[in-house]
Structure 1
Amino acid sequence: MNSKLLALSSKIIFRNPSRMFSASNAKFTKVNDEGFPDPLDLATGIEKKEMLLRLAGNDDPYNLKAIKRGVGTSDKPTLVPSAFEARIIGCVCEEDASHVKWMWLHSGEPKRCYCGHWFKLEFKEALV
């Protein structure tokens, strides 16, 4: 059985050698000394807007990094940026906690977590 399979596979390989190997046009063209173009010139749409924001100094345009809790009182709540009317936030109430307490935060009204910290939604312009 193995010898039949080996004979069949060798016939296929030697019958269609052009399919096994390909030649690209890159071999036959001259190398350009200019190097690669700037990625900012090639980017479009949201990707370009994100690159421009990073060049301007905004390393987190989508607010993906964790926010450090501030004072967290009812008079001075921790501000959470959002481009929407409501946002789900998570609070790690204790340093050694192994879980996150999630809650909805709506604009206009500060909300208190179970641990006693206060949060408030702060409007931020959307990227799009």
Structure 2
Amino acid sequence: MASLALRTAAFLNIKKAISRPVVRCMATAKEGGGIPETFEHATGLEKKELEAIRAGNLDPFDLQVKHCAPGTRDAPIEVPSVFEKRVVGCICEEEMTHVNWFNLYSGDPQRCDCGHWFQLKKREPIQ
């Protein structure tokens, strides 16, 4: 009998905890309610990225594939980077089924195995 009373009391306590009204709030709700847009929710680096995209820079981190003419020693392909090195992939010929990857370091231009020249171009990070 005591165990039945104990189980009933425990069940009632759990039921009370579950059935309590929950207060919900949204930090930045739109006028008239609703879910805020992505830009309103974004913070930090994501917000800076969205601001750059709104300003017209569709590739703020320079991650898109760039197709360009083969670089020479005198006029290498400039690869922008915030860091002192960057991984670069070179598709040496159009018919190739693989990519030649190598580390590009700041300083002098570097040559891929196929003969294309690349140079790291220092750029400022997104502020």
Q: Taking structure 1 as the reference length, what is the TM-score of the superposition?
A: 0.68
Partner of 1:104: 103
Q: Which runs of 5+ in 2 are unaligned?
A: 1-14, 25-30
- Separation (CA, whole Å) in 1 of partners of 2:86 and 2:113: 17
**In 2, are the aligned partners of 1:82 and 1:123 still within 8 Å (CA)?**
yes
Residue 93 of structure 1: CA displacement? Answer: 0.4
- Separation (CA, whole Å) in 2 of partners of 1:88 and 1:39: 31
Identity %: 46
Q: Taking structure 2 as the reference length, what is the TM-score of the superposition?
A: 0.69
1:55-82 residue CA offsets vs partner (Å, 9 max, x unmatched): 0111111221112223411111000011
Partner of 1:126: 125
Partner of 1:43: 42
- Separation (CA, whole Å) in 1 of partners of 2:69 and 2:123: 19
- Separation (CA, whole Å) in 2 of partners of 1:115 and 1:39: 44
Provide the aligned length of Structure 1 versus Structure 2.
Answer: 103
One-letter amino acid of the counterpart of residue 99, structure 1: H
Partner of 1:89: 88
Residue 40 of structure 1: CA displacement? Answer: 2.4
- Separation (CA, whole Å) in 2 of partners of 1:55 and 1:72: 32
For residues 1-128 of structure 1, the aligned pairs below 5 Å read 33=32, 35-127=34-126
One-letter amino acid of the counterpart of residue 116, structure 2: H
SS at match of 1:76: coil
- Separation (CA, whole Å) in 1 of partners of 2:124 and 2:32: 42
**In 2, are the aligned partners of 1:70 and 1:77 still within 8 Å (CA)?**
no
1:20-48 residue CA offsets vs partner (Å, 9 max, x unmatched): xx9x889xxxxx74654343233211111
CA RMSD, Structure 1 to Structure 2 (Å)? 2.4
One-letter amino acid of the counterpart of residue 56, structure 1: A
1:100-128 residue CA offsets vs partner (Å, 9 max, x unmatched): 11111111110111111100000111236
